[in-house]
Structure 1
Amino acid sequence: MRTHLITGAGSGIGSVVARRLIERGDRVVLLARDAGRARAIATELPGAETLVGDLAQPGRLSWALSTQQLPDRIDSLVHVAGVVDLGSVAELPASLWERQIAVNLLGPAELTRLMLPLLRVSRGRVVFVNSGAGLHANAGWSAYAASKHGLRALADALRAEEAEHGVRVTSIYPGRTATPMQERVHQQEGREYDASRYIAPESVATTILTALDLPDDATLTDLSIRPAH
């Protein structure tokens, strides 16, 4: 039985991934930002275990995790959590830049650093669910795209650094996906939301599971997913 640590499992893609792994009998540990959220996620996903740590405060993750019982083995670390606040460079305040960079980049970097000893032992896998914004930036998306471009660089460097330890690293770049985050994006854009136009979370989850389940002689490094219509 493999053990997976997943962020962002409270809804959308992360929730689907966690549920599928639980259903097939794997051990699933979910990172929640606070105790209340941990209880809610545990209720929504019976069989999952939870840890509490706030990606918005990367400098406190080490302390937060040191006060809890960590798994003695981790076979994969799946980064799904993210936040987005749209706005032009001329208008977006520093606080919203800091929030997006913390949750989308610094938090994943620190959590990965803390889990690397366990991942090296298991010769495990790290999956970063990035975004199409991690490949190109559009007007109004500067801070979010910058955080996701940074996440791509983090994954590339980590892959090169950890190859000698057998740790495999995957970046997945979904296009617009029908999640609660996408609905919030539409609200920020002032557009009507139609989930049928976008990728289903289940489709992205299938790609993540493919990366996790590849035989040991192969690794999926980068994959872009786009809506079919």
Structure 2
Amino acid sequence: MATHLITGAGSGIGAVVAQRLVDRGDELWLLARNAKRAAELRERFPTAQTLVGDLGDPAKLSWALGHQSPPVELDSLLHIAGMVELGPIGDTPVKVWNETLAINLVAPAELTRLLLPQLRMSRGHVVFVNSGAGLTAHAEWGSYAASKFGLRALADSLRAEEHAAGVRVTTVYPGRTATPMQQKVHQQEGKAYEAERWIAPESVATAVLTALDLPRDAEITDITVRPGG
């Protein structure tokens, strides 16, 4: 039985990944932004443990985890949480930049730093669920794409640094996926949302688990997932 810590397990891709891991009997630790959210996650995943830490305030994650009891052994850290706020760079205020970079980039970096001792001990795996916007930046996606380009760099540097310790690092780049975040994006774009046009979160979850379950003689570094024809 493996032990996993997941961010973003409340909906979308994260919820599907969490359910898949629960169904096969693995041990789950779920990060929630506050106590209310933690209670909701425990109700949805009764066998899971929860930790409270606000990804929007990365500077306090060390303090938060220091006052709780994170897992002693950790086989994988799955960064799936994220946020998006579209808009032209000329109209994007500092508040949006700071929130986007905090949740999508700085918090994953800090959470990884805090849990690296456990990951090194178990020769574990860090998975970053990035985005197609981490490979190509389009108009009005500036702040989000910048955070995801940064996340790609974080993953690549971490992989190079931790390879000798046996820690594997995978980045998954999904295209548009039928999640609540995608529904929000469509609202911001002023477009009708048709979930069936986009990737099912179950398909992205399969890509994540494929990377996790790969035998130890190999490492999947990057997976790009695109909507089918």
**What residue number does 1:182 align with?**
182
**Count of aligned pairs between the two proteins:** 229
TM-score where L is the length of structure 1: 0.99
**What residue number does 2:13 align with?**
13
* Structure 2: distance between partners of 1:126 and 1:118: 11
- List structure 1 runs of 4+ shifted beyond 2 angstroms: none
**What residue number does 2:139 align with?**
139
1:226: Cα distance to partner?
0.3
**What residue number does 1:170 align with?**
170
Q: Which SS does the other structure have where 2:89 is aligned?
A: coil
Q: Which SS does the other structure have where 1:54 is aligned?
A: coil
**What residue number does 1:37 align with?**
37
Q: Which SS does the other structure have where 2:92 is aligned?
A: coil
- In structure 2, list runs of 5 or more residues that go unmatched: none
Q: Which SS does the other structure have where 1:90 is aligned?
A: helix
TM-score where L is the length of structure 2: 0.99
* Structure 1: distance between partners of 2:97 and 2:191: 23
**What residue number does 2:161 align with?**
161
Cα offsets for 1:152-196 (capped at 9, x unmatched): 000000000000100000000000000000000001111100000
* Structure 2: distance between partners of 1:89 and 1:82: 19
1:42: Cα distance to partner?
1.1
Q: Which amino acid aligns with 2:149?
A: H
1:70: Cα distance to partner?
1.2
**What residue number does 2:105 align with?**
105
* Structure 2: distance between partners of 1:224 and 1:130: 10
* Structure 2: distance between partners of 1:69 and 1:167: 22
1:74 and 2:97 matched: no
Q: Which SS does the other structure have where 2:90 is aligned?
A: coil
Q: Work out the percentage of aligned pairs sharing the same amino acid.
A: 64
Cα offsets for 1:69-101 (capped at 9, x unmatched): 111100000000000000001101110010000
**What residue number does 1:54 align with?**
54
Q: Which amino acid aligns with 1:184?
A: K
Pairwise CA RMSD of aligned residues? 0.5
**What residue number does 1:120 align with?**
120
Cα offsets for 1:39-91 (capped at 9, x unmatched): 01111122111100011100000000000011110000000000000000110
Q: Which SS does the other structure have where 1:114 is aligned?
A: helix
